[in-house]
């Protein structure tokens, strides 16, 4: 049985890859917690590879974050992601692994790429400044894989997934990505609407909130705290006018694509990188309506048009991944339903 190492197995993407591998009957999977193996430490990484000798490696460990974290700590983002990537790529070469699947991100493409963004758009223009440090590190690791393949005939493949959501997602209201942030906001608004303060308290105890809770937290103070993140008893506030488009993919679909590529393709067949995308996106105003329906919030959606919309579209081109015979299986509505249920019942 193939010996497979999943780096970042507790994260959103890594945990989905482990679930998918297990589902497919792989039972020789190696994982290590961050405390036991710091991937930014080259000696530890080399020791681990020498001892365990994995044959297949998924690189889903990274320092990730939203716009705020990226623009506040750019040095940490570039350093950590460069060093984790170089340590794993080099150890993969040194200890002769059979294949590496390196996870990148759509932010590697230039800010003004024509839509949908094709793989060839890499390094064809300026990056989005708010996450440039992260993107530069990701691009360097894609190129590292490319040049190791060229010089050492390794089999290192880089996949560029679209925005993910799924189990083990981050619901911190300061740092969460789009879908967990919205789902939690609508859920908290529903609980306010029901005046269900006990459940609100248990939600805040269960999931990191991100903002400091006042020591004396009666119902009135609690309501004000939730209002500050856009959850009101009669409405939910969202930024911009809802006109922009975004793509969302369930992490089980991404994991399916990662394992599919591991099983079926080599780097020499598919080139430097492959987008993992459905090639379809959704207008945010429509997404908000779906979330409102799934959560069962009876109030209104209010648009704060003084706040920025963000990029009008960030859609990746799906031609290449479709030509390799893969497409996502989880419809957005169904995915959001499963996601909400697991958030509430977790
Ligand atoms: N989430 C998305 O929407 C999305 C979209 C496109 C691409 N991706 C890519 O997919 C990859 C994984 O993202 P994710 O969302 O799954 O991130 P995540 O949930 O934050 O998981 C990252 C994992 O990496 C681990 N890690 C970080 N630094 C480490 C270190 N020095 N040593 C050992 N482990 C370390 C973290 O462990 P600790 O938490 O214990 O530190 C965590 O388990 C990233 O490359 C990202 O760019 C994600």
109 catalytic, yes or no? no
Q: Is the CB of 159 under 6 A from ligand 1?
A: no
pLDDT score recorded for residue 65? 83
Query: How many angstroms does the Cα of residue 150 sit away from the middle of ligand 1?
Result: 27
pLDDT tens digits for range 213-265:
777 789 999 999 999 999 999 999 999 999 999 999 999 999 999 999 999 99
Q: Which residues of 85-122 are buried (b: 16+ CB within 10 A; e: fewer)?
A: bbbbbbbbbebebebbbbbbbbbbbbeebebbbbbebb
Q: Is the CB of 107 under 6 A from ligand 1?
A: no
Q: Is the CB of 118 under 6 A from ligand 1?
A: no
**Is 4-168+247-279+315-330 assigned to CATH 3.40.50.720?**
yes
Q: Is the CB of 84 under 6 A from ligand 1?
A: yes
Query: How many angstroms does the Cα of residue 9 sit away from the middle of ligand 1?
Result: 8
Ligand 1, pocket-test mutation among 17, 34, 43, 47, most atoms within 8 A of CB: 34
pLDDT tens digits for range 14-72:
999 999 999 999 999 999 999 999 999 999 999 999 999 999 999 999 999 877 788 89
Residue 142 has pLDDT above 80, yes or no: yes
pLDDT tens digits for range 104-118:
999 999 999 999 999
The strand order across the sheet containing 4-7 reads 29-30, 4-7, 56-59, 99-103, 156-161, 273-276
Q: Which of 62-76, 164-178, 273-287 has the lowest mean pLDDT?
A: 62-76
Query: How many angstroms does the Cα of residue 63 sit away from the middle of ligand 1?
Result: 6
pLDDT score recorded for residue 71? 84
Q: Which of 5, 93, 134, 232 is catalytic?
A: 134
Confidence of residue 188 (pLDDT cuts 50, 70, 90): very high
Its pTM stands at 0.96
Average pLDDT, the chain: 96
Confidence of residue 132 (pLDDT cuts 50, 70, 90): very high
**pLDDT above 90: percentage of residues in the chain:** 90
Residue 333 has pLDDT above 90, yes or no: yes
pLDDT tens digits for range 194-211:
999 999 999 999 999 998
What are the extents of the domains in the chain?
Answer: 4-168+247-279+315-330
pLDDT tens digits for range 66-99:
777 888 999 999 999 999 999 999 999 999 999 9
Three-class SS string for 251-304? Answer: HHHHHHHHHHHHHHCCHHHHCCEEEECCCCCEEHHHHHHHHHHHHCCCCEEEEE
Q: Is the CB of 175 under 6 A from ligand 1?
A: no
């Amino acid at each position: 049985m193939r010996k497979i190492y999943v780096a970042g197995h507790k994260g959103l993407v890594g945990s989905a890859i482990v679930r998918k591998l297990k589902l497919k009957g792989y039972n020789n999977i190696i994982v290590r917690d961050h405390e036991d193996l710091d991937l930014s430490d080259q000696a530890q990484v080399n020791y681990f590879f020498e001892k365990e000798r994995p044959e297949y490696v998924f690189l889903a460990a990274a320092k990730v974050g939203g716009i705020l974290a990226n623009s506040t700590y750019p040095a940490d983002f570039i350093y950590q992601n460069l060093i984790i990537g170089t340590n794993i790529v080099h150890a993969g070469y040194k200890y002769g692994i059979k294949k590496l699947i390196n996870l990148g991100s759509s932010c590697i493409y230039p800010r003004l790429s024509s839509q949908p963004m094709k793989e060839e758009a890499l390094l064809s223009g300026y990056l989005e400044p708010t996450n440039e440090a992260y993107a530069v590190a990701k691009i360097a690791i894609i190129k590292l894989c490319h040049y190791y393949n060229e010089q050492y005939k390794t089999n290192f493949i880089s996949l560029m997934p679209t925005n993910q959501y799924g189990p083990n997602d981050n619901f911190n209201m300061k740092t969460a990505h789009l879908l967990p942030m919205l789902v939690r906001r609508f859920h908290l608004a529903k609980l306010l609407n029901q005046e269900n303060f006990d459940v609100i308290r248990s939600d805040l105890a269960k999931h990191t909130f991100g903002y400091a809770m006042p020591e004396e937290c009666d119902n009135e103070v609690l309501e004000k705290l939730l209002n500050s993140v856009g959850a009101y008893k009669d409405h939910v506030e969202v930024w911009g006018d809802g006109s922009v488009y975004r793509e969302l993919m369930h992490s089980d679909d991404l994991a399916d694509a990662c394992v599919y590529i591991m099983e079926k393709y080599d780097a020499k067949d598919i080139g430097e990188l492959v987008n993992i995308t459905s090639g379809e996106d959704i207008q945010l105003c429509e997404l908000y309506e779906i979330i409102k329906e799934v959560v069962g919030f009876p109030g209104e959606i209010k648009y704060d048009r003084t706040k920025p919309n963000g990029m009008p579209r960030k859609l990746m081109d799906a031609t290449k991944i479709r030509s390799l015979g893969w497409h996502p299986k989880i419809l957005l509505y169904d995915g959001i339903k499963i996601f909400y249920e697991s958030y509430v019942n977790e």
